[in-house]
Structure 1
């Protein structure tokens, strides 16, 4: 439940920042005040604030506190782990997800290799298109280890898969290995995406891990070139 509390506070504070309850340049309440407000320990608050800092929402300044930054409104972080639902809400656009496929499969050799699993392990295959302002601009293909996530529903995949994993399954999504490329469009892209004269898409392939270092998800996310830019919020590590 501790991981749930940490993420609930992060989600609540990030939403308040996105909706300008905390203005850019202002400070969040102190760790002590936040701990009292949320009824948790200061250590839990520190974890939530650290995650806000890592994802570019705040800058911790000694003697001043947690200063709210302009996190951008329509960007996909390169190094952050942000769900489509979080990005879409932040953008202020009308958005939805359409689930085309949710099946339990015996994975191909390629998927077994990507998920580092054996022949005996079954995998959830999820194919979803992401619609923003009436245009389908992303095609996501997810493969999830069933041993780690035993059950999934279409409704969960339409809403927020990561929210379900962290809040309902009580697991903590921690880090990912990502590979970026620009690839020619496929017949599948033509079927599921609103393409104009596009001949290429940006492809992000991700292996996603829990906080105990278990690899639970492999994703291929295909993005229309003109609709999303990819950003990174980098921090210099000081000795």
Structure 2
């Protein structure tokens, strides 16, 4: 069952779409909260929550007494600190990407994660997916889903959205992840998959994803063509 989206999320997504298509350009101000309230036929509180969503994402900056200014937005960027599925990025950034399932079978834990405390004996489901944009391979995702708690990943769920399956169908609460980003020389097979030229490097994002109860559920090695995607983070200062 799909989760029902709140009105504030729907409004935030609509404003984001308008930003992407240039209706609200970088450096300009969004309509006032009163104008947005009238435009969307909702309460001012809902509008404020929608704007807070965009503010947290780094799409806008709220300036006291002036309103919300649109920040410069780069296409096809992957957030470093957040936990976002490829389907969510594909939809929000309108990449029109497709996914091909290369492997969905029992596997073994990669050495990288063994060196970070995951048992070599841990059983995992190995899920390998190729992401393509405009017919060109741009990302190879290699996921290792721990069993237990998981027993299998339906192919349809793997092709559509792994996180949607985990959260909406199985009821798991994905909470946090640790990530490491490196630039490495790919092996011959990976270079062929991503159609890389000789001696071209790949950007590798390795992550360990946990549930709200701190249970480790997913290990990921994600390989990206460096000429197609930019990795960015948006940070807001918090005093400690």
Deviation per residue, 1:40-69 (Å, 9 max, x gap):
xx89x96x8766543324545667887765
Paired residues of 1:209 and 1:216 also in contact (CA < 8 A) = yes
User: SS of 1:130's equivalent?
Assistant: strand
Question: Whole-Å Cα distance in 2 between the matches of residues 207 and 160 of structure 1?
Answer: 18
Paired residues of 1:208 and 1:216 also in contact (CA < 8 A) = yes
User: SS of 1:221's equivalent?
Assistant: strand
My pick for the range that moved more, 13-22 or 193-202, is: 13-22
Paired residues of 1:137 and 1:224 also in contact (CA < 8 A) = yes
Question: Whole-Å Cα distance in 2 between the matches of residues 28 and 210 of structure 1?
Answer: 38
1:65 to 1:92, Cα distance in 2 relative to 1, 3 A: same
Question: Whole-Å Cα distance in 1 between the matches of residues 191 and 56 of structure 2?
Answer: 36
Paired residues of 2:180 and 2:206 also in contact (CA < 8 A) = yes
* 1:75 corresponds to: 77
Q: CA deviation at 1:95?
A: 1.2
Question: Whole-Å Cα distance in 2 between the matches of residues 173 and 230 of structure 1?
Answer: 22
Listed as ranges, the matches of 1:117-156 within 5 Å are: 117=119, 119=121, 121-156=122-157
My pick for the range that moved more, 104-113 or 192-201, is: 104-113
* 2:16 corresponds to: 18
Deviation per residue, 1:16-54 (Å, 9 max, x gap):
233228946326979xx8xxx99xxx89x96x8766543
My pick for the range that moved more, 152-161 or 107-116, is: 107-116
How many aligned residue pairs are there?
Answer: 228
Question: Whole-Å Cα distance in 2 between the matches of residues 149 and 157 of structure 1?
Answer: 13
My pick for the range that moved more, 104-113 or 81-90, is: 104-113
Paired residues of 1:115 and 1:217 also in contact (CA < 8 A) = no
Q: Which 5+ residue runs of structure 1 have no aligned equivalent? A: none
Q: Which 5+ residue runs of structure 2 have no aligned equivalent? A: none
Q: Normalised by the size of structure 2, how large is the TM-score?
A: 0.75
Deviation per residue, 1:128-163 (Å, 9 max, x gap):
111011100111111111213333111111111122
My pick for the range that moved more, 193-202 or 182-191, is: 193-202
User: SS of 2:30's equivalent?
Assistant: coil
1:106 to 1:140, Cα distance in 2 relative to 1, 3 A: closer
Q: Normalised by the size of structure 1, how large is the TM-score?
A: 0.75
Q: CA deviation at 1:100?
A: 0.2
Q: CA deviation at 1:114?
A: 4.7
User: SS of 1:19's equivalent?
Assistant: helix
* 1:202 corresponds to: 203
Paired residues of 1:27 and 1:67 also in contact (CA < 8 A) = no
Matched, 1:87 2:89: yes
Q: CA deviation at 1:81?
A: 1.8
Question: Whole-Å Cα distance in 1 between the matches of residues 149 and 53 of structure 2?
Answer: 24
